[in-house]
Structure 1
Amino acid sequence: MDNKKTFTYDEAFDASLRYFGGDELAARVWVNKYAMKDSFGNIYEKSPEDMHWRIAREIARIERKYANPMTEEDIFELLDHFRYIVPAGSPMTGIGNDYQVASLSNCFVIGLDGNADSYGAIMRIDEEQVQLMKRRGGVGHDLSHIRPKGSPVNNSALTSTGLVPFMERYSNSTREVAQDGRRGALMLSVSIKHPDSEAFIDAKMTEGKVTGANVSVKLDDEFMRSAVEDRPYVQKFPIDSDTPQCRKEVNAKALWEKIVHNAWKSAEPGVLFWDTILRESIPDCYADLGFRTVSTNPCGEIPLCPYDSCRLLSINLYSYVVNPFTQEAYFDYELFGKHVAAAQRLMDDIVDLELEKIDSIMSKIETDLQSDEVKQAEYHLWEKIKRKSGMGRRTGVGITAEGDMIAAMGLRYGTQEATDFSVEVHRSLALAAYRSSVTMARERGAFAVYDAAREANNPFIMRLKDTDPQLYEDMAKYGRRNIACLTIAPTGTTSLMTQTTSGIEPVFMPVYKRRRKVNPNDADVHVDFVDEVGDSFEEYIVYHHKFITWMEANGIDAKKKYTQEEIDALVARSPYYKATANDVDWLMKVKMQGAIQKWVDHSISVTVNLPNDVDEALVNRLYVEAWRSGCKGCTIYRDGSRSGVMISVSKKDKKKKEETVDNAVPCKHPEVTEVRPKELECDVVRFQNNKEKWVAFVGLLNGYPYEIFTGLQDDEEGIVLPKTVTKGKIIKSTGEDGRHRYDFQFENKRGYKTTVEGLSEKFNPEYWNYAKLISGVLRYRMPIEHVIKLVGSLQLKSESINTWKNGVERALKKYIVDGTEAKGQKCPACGHETLVYQEGCLTCKNCGASRCG
């Protein structure tokens, strides 16, 4: 492959731009994320057409191992232009790619058998997590096995530290792993039965804590009934023991209200209705053979047993609507069923391709220049994954474009009529996929441990039997090729390339506003906005792709420039009216999820989007309805509880203070507080100047930096501070002489408070004066990125490569809202002025290059 032709970034982008019909975002996403590259950044594919032929060739190679093989051309036709079948990111990137030794699996769950709460076991899980992430996988694992805080342990600590410190450890490990322009993804879960579950639920409420993980709490039916009926609930450890080491009775309603409040406030934790998951799970019919479900992948759509994995694929539902957005629109169930059967075949072929990839990974490990002791842990991890993947042959056939399919049929998302139609589509999908898996079992053999008797009482299998008795009879006779088949994932960037709505979700907005930077002196430029540094921006309207299709189908000129009133009127006429992410009937959306879940053997990743002004009572009602409707999980997002959403185009939105720049991320800053509160929450950030160890104290008001103090650590004249301290409070007091004093107070492991008095007295006077200057501009809400520029311009008496001011910059960068542009800076890799902050690092939107520090 060394002699294979390469393409420049511009060549690939231009070809992809033509492929996507001028859609710059889709073209850039494909080139940056999915075009085949080597570790030096050389691009080996010019457009998605090349990628689809690569995938088709590899799958056809596997097909030829079995009876009735599909041809390369047949497979390509299903993939071409993302029209029908769309592999998820890991398969799309990895199939046929010899330049990266990476897994094709999107999802993994890990977890050790037996007593797994020793330090050795906890560290082993940490190691396995990062080993999987470096191969491009998202990872989930459960913490219910870790002893609650205060439990006796046989080491120098004497008592257990509980769950939260290990949440931080796993979170930090995730943030350290790079995955070609993306970072690792982690799901941490815990059972509500665990005595530390309340601390788990609260862990992410502190700004900056556990930022590298999604967290979900596993709720059993007894807890939900206790919460709804206001009855006490018993927690214990071990959580499933008949003779627990500890046991306590808690107020279920109060704990439930905390879950609801935190979800309303910060969109986490997510909830997993664990009894529903286990009751419906087909793999759990084989729990004693190693298929006991313990956690989910990071987005929650695949509950998994330890060391199992899953590859994902989506079917573009919109493409099966004939005559879309017209009175003659209908859904082509015949073509849909045919393609679902093919999709299930392709998924099974990809299992074989994954087993080949695992062999390649294991071969690489064997030849790595490391000691056998180091290599053995990683090698054994992949041995376990290969065994479980080959035994169950689990697949993840899903969908995308549900929202566009519904609209194209002339239905409105969130109505009963639309829900009934969607359920029928998903029932058809489930029957076709399972029929295909049975056919493959007849041709290729069933998965290794298939046993019809074990599945006889499974609710999902019983629904298949009631709907299609012949399918059930054939399955009992020939078996099934795959232990479980279906899911619904978020699809994310994949939907940018299908140019449709994402997953099961409704359209986010049919019309929205973006900004692009312009030169105000150029001809024909209309300046709509000037930012705080004087850059000029022009606003322009962006239409959802299928909204344009609706316009064209109804004789509306999509190229005309419309006024705001005309746009509002157009949206009101369309099937997208009152059917967007933020204004769909929320209760109906939850009921729709529960109804469709009956025909999805894994789970569904879906978010209920709510406006900012809803109260906690609504969140409570939605969660309870999700449980009662048969959902396996639920995630609530209230507008403004996290940053990073687009703004809609309407008259009332123009009155909002929050504005959006070209990347559609709002710049949110709290209002200025003139009088400093007596106490401020504080983050402790350590850094190093040459060989000197320094520490920064960042005082926070509403999670936003309000002041900063810096000084030497562990020095006779400096600050003595335990290395474990990362949080505390800065307390301001006034002495008899009228002078202010700032003390830092923190809690030690035993809960005792310790105070470091007089921070200002411990600083070099020059640094102290600059710290006061920086605190002043922070206090009046200068954007963090501009504060960092200000710090960089300071002229200190003694500068070195690793200076004090660089440490202050690093301390402040963690508070920059992801997506904020680094104006005036060019990417060192591609030269474009397209740098944005992501997780405190500068990342190029154009080529994906990233640098931190």
Structure 2
Amino acid sequence: MAEAEVNLKTTGLNKKTYSYDQAYQEALKYFQGDELAARVWVNKYALKDSEGNLYELTPDDMHHRLAKEIARIEKKYPNPMSEEEIYDLLKGFKYIVPQGGPMAGIGNDYQIASLSNCFVIGNEGPSDSYGGIMKIDQEQVQLMKRRGGVGHDLSYIRPKGSPVKNSALTSTGLVPFMERFSNSTREVAQDGRRGALMLSVSIKHPDSEKFIDAKLEQGKVTGANVSVKIDDEFMNAVVNGTDYQQQYPIDSSNPKMTKTINARELWNKIVHNAWKSAEPGILFWDTIIRESVPDCYADLGYRTVSTNPCGEIPLCPYDSCRLLAINLYSYVKNPFTDKAAFDFDLFKQHAAYAQRIMDDIIDLELEKIDAIIGKINADPEDEEIKRVEKNLWLNIRKKAVEGRRTGIGITGEGDMLAALNLRYGSDIAIDFAVEVHKTLALAAYNSSVNLAKERGPFPIYNSEKEKNNPFILRLAEADPEMYKRMRKYGRRNIALLTIAPTGTTSLMTQTTSGIEPVFLPVYKRRRKVNPNDPDVRVDFVDEVGDSWEEYIVFHHKFVNWMQANNIETTKKYTQEEIDKLIEKSPYYKATSNDVDWLSKVRMQGKIQKWVDHSISVTINLPSSVSEELVGKLYVEAWKSGCKGVTVYRDGSRAGVLLNNKDKKNEETTSKFPKKRPEVLVADVVRFQNNKEKWIAFVGLIDGKPYEIFTGLADDEDGILLPKSVQKGFIIKSRESDGSSRYDFQYVNKRGYKTTIEGLSYKFNKEYWNYAKLISGVLRHGMPIEDVLHLVQGLQLDNENINNWKNGVERALKKYVPNGTAVKKGHCDNCGSDELIYQEGCLICKSCGSSKCG
């Protein structure tokens, strides 16, 4: 789209729009040639309307937009910061960086969306009626459509087999509702970003084992992260080898159901599943509740029930949080030299400003919520249809007004330590990091007290309720004068601090992400190329025939280290020379795969003492580690005071590339038997082909697709199959002339076997040939993600979404690990091979696309 004049209905002004290429080229200059940072900014954060028209040319335009809006709020209060002062803190992503929703949404009048990054929902009191569960489902969808991540707890749902007063007679338990909430998440996608969901359950719940196992079945609960809330009683039972009592309701003094279990057996299952698939995550719930400042107000509706999808914000029902990161690297003076020092004075000053800006963002969020409620009121739908959505936002507004919760975090910690010549994970580095986070906590809380004096405290502040809280007592000991003033004036915000994932944020700050060490200081990246273009070098051709060029990428701050040490940065280095360079640098033995695992857990626990919410961090392990080690790390995390922990073993989750060195001996051949078994377990998948009803049979070996057959359903010439049939068997037999025949067999409601003979006779010949092609590549071991690429490329009827090709895609997608079309070498957004698992998220290092879970 060329530069144009577009009428702004929201302001009545005329404003220029820019083409994607114009914005990208200018952003590329801004980020000094960093293609990834430029694309991330244009795709995610440049001001745009719902039709994709771009109104900003560079990130500098965005920073002026943010500064203008924040300054507008500042003018409501005494001693306002000026727009220029705010801009100086934001510009260049150098010091203060609003994350996600605030960066994209502040000053954007084109789209009606919340500024909150994450929400937790839940019913007031136990309500596991179908009505209560459906309300949660609708609230989840309503939040996700406005791009919010959502968490909710399932501990209120009665266990499987419990009596119910309806025609079912007994409860189905947790797992079917996990699948429901997961499916709702997968249905909500905006601009290619799927919804993000966290489902949690208490270890005390009698169905917790079923919850833990739910994701082991391929294709199940693919739209959610899952975490288990573990209490101290259970951990002590694990350590001491004693029994543990589960019950329902979990908090009842007179439970309706109890169940005594062997704690270690269930613990071993949790550890095994996490070792195998990186889930479930663990939330040390007693630590969370004990340390939680908002839980001092549990009687007023602030009882924490779950966390957001990445686990860094434990929340009560209908509370939400906005995020902001401080770039720690920018406070290192003379980085990578023997004169390197951290500027604590400037850091404290900026931390106070950051808290002030976050409080302003709450006022901006309240304006956004009012706009959402206004839109709901103006919608022509029946009031009954709008009731749940409207009440949802009214509840969220109430919590935002009462608590004014903020989420100040950091990014660039790994680079900060390296710039100070400290090796990440060493004792001295851990001690220094703790001092930085303690400084941040005290500066932010001091600022919140000052804001309370100027603007008033959060409405439900009560110093007596908080006086025994461990976190508050820690602050009081470290800064008695601040605590004295807080008791006098109150505090502006109920809770202030977090360490959230900063995947796309760190791409624009060009630093390491969040609290994490550097992933790799030097790595390879691939870009897709046209092999017919002149001067193109093809280094790799993938399974579907796409050509790729490989090139070396240096981590930005590694280049800064080279420059500080007068090392040539434009030379084309060999791998051996690169290895020697890394050995000389402060990044040596300090990458995410190098750092001592126990040291990282202890570092997290020590820093957690100065973070009132929680920390999103991943312990990366090589594929060879034992389940026993994973268990030891979990126990150490509990003892160290961590609120939660995520362990990722290399290769345990599909789609993650954790090693950039060539794997010349990597096995790519299929594990399928050379000869087709006579009987295969099969799934039944139904779909629409235009206006016709079709059916697919997917033959499986070890849960993986081996072949697929499709045909018309509910037609006299098609396949008549009861809708209740979801599984069966594909049986291969021989005709009298020696040809093969495929039959489908299932067990009917009466327990009798029923056979549909000659599946191939009932298929449209064209589609039968395509099905044979797809079955052939499946049998020869083509990864399922590449089979999907193959199906997507078939030149068939694409006019209608309900066509054969899309139906087959839907039938096969359920077998993609974790429900995504991503594998090593294939980001589903750009096709790159640079995917890593960090801070609970899949992050593409080539295009910046991120998926939590």
Q: Do Structure 1 and Structure 2 share a fold, with TM-score over 0.5? A: yes
Per-residue CA deviation, residues 646-687 of structure 1 (Å, 9 max, x unaligned), is: 45444xx443427xxxxxxxxx77445324467756443221
1:610 to 621, 640, 649: 621
Q: Are residues 788 and 86 of structure 1, via their aligned partners in 2, closer, same or farther at CA, if it must alter by over 3 Å?
A: closer
> Offset of 1:790 from its aligned partner?
6.3
Q: Are residues 292 and 821 of structure 1, via their aligned partners in 2, closer, same or farther at CA, if it must alter by over 3 Å?
A: closer
Amino acid of the structure 2 residue aligned with 1:96: G
> How many angstroms apart in 2 are the aligned matches of 1:473 and 1:41?
51
What is the aligned partner in structure 1 of residue 694 from structure 2? 694
Amino acid of the structure 1 residue aligned with 2:779: R
> Offset of 1:584 from its aligned partner?
1.1
2:101 is the counterpart of 1:90: yes
What is the aligned partner in structure 2 of residue 711 from structure 1? 711
Q: Are residues 484 and 176 of structure 1, via their aligned partners in 2, closer, same or farther at CA, if it must alter by over 3 Å?
A: same
Counterpart secondary structure, 1:187: strand
> How many angstroms apart in 1 are the aligned matches of 2:834 and 2:604?
35
What is the aligned partner in structure 2 of residue 142 from structure 1? 153
**Which stretch shifts more, 539-548 or 338-347?**
539-548
Counterpart secondary structure, 1:514: strand
RMSD of equivalent CA atoms: 3.1
Amino acid of the structure 2 residue aligned with 1:202: D
2:638 is the counterpart of 1:635: no
What is the aligned partner in structure 1 of residue 841 from structure 2? none
Counterpart secondary structure, 2:283: strand
Q: Are residues 527 and 718 of structure 1, via their aligned partners in 2, closer, same or farther at CA, if it must alter by over 3 Å?
A: closer
Per-residue CA deviation, residues 548-603 of structure 1 (Å, 9 max, x unaligned), is: 11111111111111111111111111111111112211111111000100000000
Q: Are residues 535 and 741 of structure 1, via their aligned partners in 2, closer, same or farther at CA, if it must alter by over 3 Å?
A: closer
What is the aligned partner in structure 2 of residue 818 from structure 1? 821
Question: Is this contact kept in 2: 1:717–1:762, CA < 8 A?
Answer: no
What is the aligned partner in structure 2 of residue 355 from structure 1? 366
> Offset of 1:533 from its aligned partner?
5.1
Question: Is this contact kept in 2: 1:612–1:640, CA < 8 A?
Answer: yes
> How many angstroms apart in 2 are the aligned matches of 1:243 and 1:398?
42
1:590 to 577, 601, 607: 601
2:664 to 655, 669, 674: 655
Q: Are residues 285 and 721 of structure 1, via their aligned partners in 2, closer, same or farther at CA, if it must alter by over 3 Å?
A: farther
What is the aligned partner in structure 2 of residue 397 from structure 1? 408
> How many angstroms apart in 1 are the aligned matches of 2:92 and 2:467?
41
What is the aligned partner in structure 2 of residue 307 from structure 1? 318
> Offset of 1:847 from its aligned partner?
12
> How many angstroms apart in 1 are the aligned matches of 2:66 and 2:669?
46
Matches within 5 A, 1:479-518: 479-518=490-529
2:480 is the counterpart of 1:469: yes
What is the aligned partner in structure 2 of residue 782 from structure 1? 782
> How many angstroms apart in 2 are the aligned matches of 1:419 and 1:14?
40
Question: Is this contact kept in 1: 2:310–2:616, CA < 8 A?
Answer: yes
> How many angstroms apart in 1 are the aligned matches of 2:479 and 2:831?
58
Counterpart secondary structure, 1:195: coil
> How many angstroms apart in 2 are the aligned matches of 1:446 and 1:796?
63
What is the aligned partner in structure 1 of residue 39 from structure 2? 28
Matches within 5 A, 1:545-560: 545-560=556-571
Amino acid of the structure 1 residue aligned with 2:608: Q
Q: Are residues 603 and 745 of structure 1, via their aligned partners in 2, closer, same or farther at CA, if it must alter by over 3 Å?
A: farther
Per-residue CA deviation, residues 30-87 of structure 1 (Å, 9 max, x unaligned), is: 0011111111111011111111111111111111111111100000010001100000
> How many angstroms apart in 2 are the aligned matches of 1:368 and 1:435?
44
> Offset of 1:643 from its aligned partner?
2.6
> How many angstroms apart in 2 are the aligned matches of 1:66 and 1:796?
62
Q: Are residues 479 and 409 of structure 1, via their aligned partners in 2, closer, same or farther at CA, if it must alter by over 3 Å?
A: same
Amino acid of the structure 1 residue aligned with 2:259: K
> How many angstroms apart in 1 are the aligned matches of 2:545 and 2:140?
46
What is the aligned partner in structure 1 of residue 453 from structure 2? 442
**Which stretch shifts more, 752-761 or 616-625?**
752-761
What is the aligned partner in structure 2 of residue 460 from structure 1? 471
> Offset of 1:700 from its aligned partner?
3.3
> How many angstroms apart in 1 are the aligned matches of 2:324 and 2:264?
40
What is the aligned partner in structure 2 of residue 14 from structure 1? 25
Amino acid of the structure 2 residue aligned with 1:699: G
What is the aligned partner in structure 2 of residue 384 from structure 1? 395
2:378 is the counterpart of 1:367: yes
Counterpart secondary structure, 1:454: helix
> Offset of 1:184 from its aligned partner?
1.3
> Offset of 1:736 from its aligned partner?
12
Question: Is this contact kept in 2: 1:711–1:763, CA < 8 A?
Answer: no
> Offset of 1:211 from its aligned partner?
1.0
> How many angstroms apart in 2 are the aligned matches of 1:278 and 1:679?
53
> Offset of 1:539 from its aligned partner?
2.0
Per-residue CA deviation, residues 192-247 of structure 1 (Å, 9 max, x unaligned), is: 11111111111111111111111111000111111222211111111111111111
> How many angstroms apart in 1 are the aligned matches of 2:568 and 2:796?
61
> Offset of 1:644 from its aligned partner?
2.9
Whose relative contact order is higher, 1 or 2, with alpha carbons under 8 Å and at least 6 apart? 2
Q: Are residues 93 and 523 of structure 1, via their aligned partners in 2, closer, same or farther at CA, if it must alter by over 3 Å?
A: closer
> How many angstroms apart in 2 are the aligned matches of 1:259 and 1:96?
45
> How many angstroms apart in 1 are the aligned matches of 2:348 and 2:681?
57
> How many angstroms apart in 2 are the aligned matches of 1:19 and 1:643?
35
> How many angstroms apart in 2 are the aligned matches of 1:579 and 1:641?
22
Q: Are residues 405 and 684 of structure 1, via their aligned partners in 2, closer, same or farther at CA, if it must alter by over 3 Å?
A: farther
Q: Are residues 509 and 374 of structure 1, via their aligned partners in 2, closer, same or farther at CA, if it must alter by over 3 Å?
A: same
Q: Are residues 465 and 793 of structure 1, via their aligned partners in 2, closer, same or farther at CA, if it must alter by over 3 Å?
A: closer
What is the aligned partner in structure 2 of residue 270 from structure 1? 281
What is the aligned partner in structure 2 of residue 538 from structure 1? 549
Per-residue CA deviation, residues 137-167 of structure 1 (Å, 9 max, x unaligned), is: 1111000001111111111211111111111
Q: Are residues 534 and 163 of structure 1, via their aligned partners in 2, closer, same or farther at CA, if it must alter by over 3 Å?
A: closer
Counterpart secondary structure, 1:173: helix
> How many angstroms apart in 1 are the aligned matches of 2:34 and 2:557?
13
1:239 to 219, 243, 250: 250
Per-residue CA deviation, residues 235-273 of structure 1 (Å, 9 max, x unaligned), is: 111111111111111111111111111111111110100
> Offset of 1:819 from its aligned partner?
4.5
**Which stretch shifts more, 637-646 or 491-500?**
637-646
Q: Are residues 477 and 211 of structure 1, via their aligned partners in 2, closer, same or farther at CA, if it must alter by over 3 Å?
A: same
What is the aligned partner in structure 1 of residue 142 from structure 2? 131
> How many angstroms apart in 2 are the aligned matches of 1:476 and 1:631?
28
> How many angstroms apart in 1 are the aligned matches of 2:795 and 2:324?
55
Unaligned 5+ runs, structure 1: 659-667, 838-842, 849-853
Question: Is this contact kept in 2: 1:217–1:272, CA < 8 A?
Answer: yes
> How many angstroms apart in 2 are the aligned matches of 1:735 and 1:195?
49
**Which stretch shifts more, 510-519 or 676-685?**
676-685
Would you say how many aligned residue pairs link Structure 1 and Structure 2?
820
Amino acid of the structure 1 residue aligned with 2:159: P
Q: Are residues 795 and 121 of structure 1, via their aligned partners in 2, closer, same or farther at CA, if it must alter by over 3 Å?
A: closer
**Which stretch shifts more, 97-106 or 737-746?**
737-746
> Offset of 1:740 from its aligned partner?
7.2
2:92 is the counterpart of 1:78: no
Per-residue CA deviation, residues 776-831 of structure 1 (Å, 9 max, x unaligned), is: 2210023556645766898999x9996545532442355566347999x9x9xxxx
Counterpart secondary structure, 2:16: coil
Q: Are residues 846 and 107 of structure 1, via their aligned partners in 2, closer, same or farther at CA, if it must alter by over 3 Å?
A: closer
> How many angstroms apart in 1 are the aligned matches of 2:479 and 2:218?
52
> How many angstroms apart in 1 are the aligned matches of 2:162 and 2:420?
58
What is the aligned partner in structure 2 of residue 662 from structure 1? none
2:196 is the counterpart of 1:185: yes
Amino acid of the structure 1 residue aligned with 2:821: D
Question: Is this contact kept in 2: 1:785–1:822, CA < 8 A?
Answer: no
Percent identical? 68
Amino acid of the structure 1 residue aligned with 2:328: L
Counterpart secondary structure, 1:5: strand
> How many angstroms apart in 2 are the aligned matches of 1:290 and 1:208?
36
Amino acid of the structure 1 residue aligned with 2:293: I
Amino acid of the structure 2 residue aligned with 1:818: A
Per-residue CA deviation, residues 289-312 of structure 1 (Å, 9 max, x unaligned), is: 000000000100000000111111
1:62 to 42, 65, 73: 73
What is the aligned partner in structure 2 of residue 197 from structure 1? 208
Q: Are residues 754 and 299 of structure 1, via their aligned partners in 2, closer, same or farther at CA, if it must alter by over 3 Å?
A: farther
> How many angstroms apart in 2 are the aligned matches of 1:65 and 1:374?
37
Per-residue CA deviation, residues 709-734 of structure 1 (Å, 9 max, x unaligned), is: 223444566556564665x4646576
Counterpart secondary structure, 1:705: strand
